[in-house]
Amino acid sequence: MSLHGVIAAFADPEALTQAARAMRDKGYRRMDAFSPFEVRGLAQILGMPRTRMPWAVLAGGMAGGLLVYALILYSVEIDYPVNVGGRPLHSWPPFTVIAFEAAILGAALAGFVAMLWANGLPRYHHPVFNAKTFTYARGGKFYLLIEAADPKYRKGLTKGQLTRLGAETVEEVEA
């Protein structure tokens, strides 16, 4: 039976933020936190680099818009050119309308997929659900998890540190 880490529950977001900062100052790097809603700034404290999500959204939008515009251009210029009284085949103003819609669609799809991908979701199970004290649903608790894989992790020591930081419960989590 291997160990995933140790999870500590705190009563409010401020206590969790302070504990996360203190544990980071002690040198812990492999940490995670769980809360019923976003605690602002917590991810930065836990050492998350600046998210690259906006780039995925931008890329999706560009891809959607350009691909559809290229498709339209291919259809009117190469595959099926229709000469209507010498009017230009590449009459771009109406084409931008559909390209715009496609850009929005591409950006939204890319953002959603990138968010799931980067978060490792969908996921069937996660060790944190093994913890008896962990519940996402009850809403009143804020958790800090120190992974056993953290080089600083020492079983009794880490638990003691978390208790001294004001944790209500501290529990070992099986992997």
Which residues of this chain interact with another protein, rule CB under 8 A?
Answer: 11-13, 32-39, 42-44, 46, 48, 51, 53-54, 57, 61, 71-72, 75-76, 79-80, 91, 94-95, 97-98, 100-102, 104-105, 107-109, 111-112, 114-116, 118-119, 121-126, 128-129, 135-140
Inter-CA distances, 130 with 47, 95, 133, 166, 169, Å: 25, 54, 9, 22, 15
Both tokens assigned to 114: 């990138």
For residues 44 and 152, what is the distance between their CA atoms, to the nearest angstrom? Answer: 20
Which residues are registered as beta bridge partners of 25? none
- Choose between 106 and 156: whose C-beta lies nearer to another protein: 106
Report, in Å, the least distance between residue 2 CB and another protein: 20
Report, in Å, the least distance between residue 156 CB and another protein: 26
Report, in Å, the least distance between residue 36 CB and another protein: 6
C-alpha neighbours within 13 Å on the C-beta side of residue 160 = 4
Report, in Å, the least distance between residue 46 CB and another protein: 6
- Choose between 101 and 174: whose C-beta lies nearer to another protein: 101
Length of the chain: 175
- Asked if 104 and 118 touch (Cβ cutoff 8 Å), the reply is no
- Choose between 157 and 175: whose C-beta lies nearer to another protein: 175
Place of tokens 């515009």: 69
